[in-house]
Amino acid sequence: MSRRILVVEDHEENRRIVRDLLTSAGYEIVEAVTGEEGVTMAESERPDLILMDIQLPGLDGYEATRRIKANPASRPSAQPTAKKRWRSRERSSRT
């Protein structure tokens, strides 16, 4: 049984790169485009790991991660990801 990873990313090219890398390593990938979809899919898909973009339209990655962590039915290890400067790293450590 392969490990399932939820990728929450609004840019198709980024999702394609992550999908290609992880599926070639044997992982099963499920994808969400918005923070809201990510929260819903975290509960319905029960992934082993979540890769969460920080800058998402609507519900951002920080809030989506907080909601996932607050729901015991959807709590794998959620890892925020971003290409942001130092401020993103500071904010991530507080979630």
pLDDT tens digits, one per residue of 10-66? 999 999 999 999 999 999 999 999 999 999 999 999 999 999 999 999 999 999 999
Contact 78, 50 (CB under 8 A): yes
- This prediction has a pTM of 0.78
Residue ranges per structural domain of the chain = 4-93
DSSP the chain: -PPEEEEE-S-HHHHHHHHHHHHHTT-EEEEESSHHHHHHHHHHH--SEEEEESS-SSS-HHHHHHHHHH-GGG-SEEEEE----HHHHHHHHT-
- Cα–Cα dist 52/8, whole Å: 5
CATH number of 4-93: 3.40.50.2300
